[in-house]
A and B are shown apart, each in its own frame.
Chain A
Amino acid sequence: MEESKGLNCFFSTEAILTENLTKVFKTRVGNIIALEDVNISVKQGEFLCIVGPSGCGKTTFLRILGGLEKQTSGRFYMRSRNPQKPLTSMVFQGDSIFPWMTVAENVTYGLRIKGIPPRDRREAAIRFLKLMGLLKFIDAYPYQLSGGMKQRINVARAFVSDPEILLMDEPFGALDEQNRLILQQELLKIWEGSGKTSLFITHSIDEALMLGDRVMVMTAHPGKIKAIVEVDIERPRNILLLRSSPEFASLYREIWHLLQEEVEKAKARELSA
């Protein structure tokens, strides 16, 4: 992460800036351009949602920002305002909480890695689980939890490590509609209190509009930014009221058309291949 280099290139209100970020995977069947020339700047405290057809490089983008993958070319900057805090923390797609740790141990894993003593970790776990209504499961193991609870723990683990930037990869993708709505509302609640810059991948337009300040729509093969849509809906948002508002409907249509074009293109590509 080149946080120090070229800091003057971006304004102090910005948390992330990418410059021609490109990632090529070399595979046996040839090169896959997962990302090509992605340029975006994300404001401090902004909630940016990312949508796009599957395989368009959403996960790859987040993994590069999270330091789990190295870009092939291009650069990105991230501003660290507090060197005591971790810069990024990722919520992974799918089930990623450790089966061998209790709920408390999972939630405070980041603190353990930082060397925070057990007593303080326990306190942090109690505080956070109380907030999420999961206190009675504090010493349970993941096999005793439902899918919705596991996903809450997954998100909580990233929050508790208190990063400056949260990177979330379809955290609610595998949940049923009801759980998804509840978790969205909970996420908004803790996010609004924290002011953390957040990137959130989703395949649901609904979800992107409920959570995001902006929605970044991506195209596949190569993965590029197709459009960035501003979501001018005021906060705090009520997920139930939101759905019936006119702004929501028109934004939904706009993004749907953008994605529709991509789906058509993918179909045409398949037919010609």
Chain B
Amino acid sequence: MPDSPIRFRSVSKWFGTSQVLKGIDLTFGMGHVVVVCGPSGSGKSTLLRCINGLERVQEGQIEVLGQELTDRTLRSSGFRAEIGMVFQRFSLYPHMSVLQNVTLAPRLVRGTTAAAAKERAIRMLTRVGLADKVDAYPAELSGGQQQRVAIARALVMDPKIMLFDEPTSALDPEMIHEVLDVMRDLAASGMTMVIVTHEMGFAREVARRIIFMDEGEVVEDSETSAFFSAPATDRAQRFLDKILHH
């Protein structure tokens, strides 16, 4: 296992003529939790989506788990399943029960038998506190429960890296903590995590590093305590002021 599971080398990306990532250089440590923050449109989601190939870049290289991301490596379903991803919302399959949502990939991608997949799925659902919801359908769950199912669905593939794109932004305030609790447990278990979030309290507590982006650039990349006590740039300071006094 390489010591840095994710490495960006001079990565640039354009959507049409507008450049949304500007020469990004980054490395992420094994078992580390990194929080990415920054104003809307700064390129956080794009950065995250580059890690599992949902977005392709025009310049630079991205190395994940020792492999350079290319059409060939990304075509491997086994490789993609090593990188779990949780979205803001709408990602559960509404026509399937919770159990079917969680067992679909083990059965179809890994060829696990139905019984073994079910057993493993129930283990993951128990881990996120939803053992009693296996037969429910997504529409019957609260937003927080849906997000926990989405986490279980990613975890069931036994990923080496977990990506989160604002997993609590679409939730009612009272449901945020139940999702953050699950993520906190996951961090404690040593999972490598990259999290885009505006939950600064959570970031402060769980992240080892904070990456602050603005206009497609990594403006600041600091130890968590350093970032919160004394951000090195004005831009980060202004962002923090705005978000903390909100």
- Do A and B bind? no
Chain B interfacial positions (CB closer than 8 Å to A)? none
Chain A interfacial positions (CB closer than 8 Å to B)? none
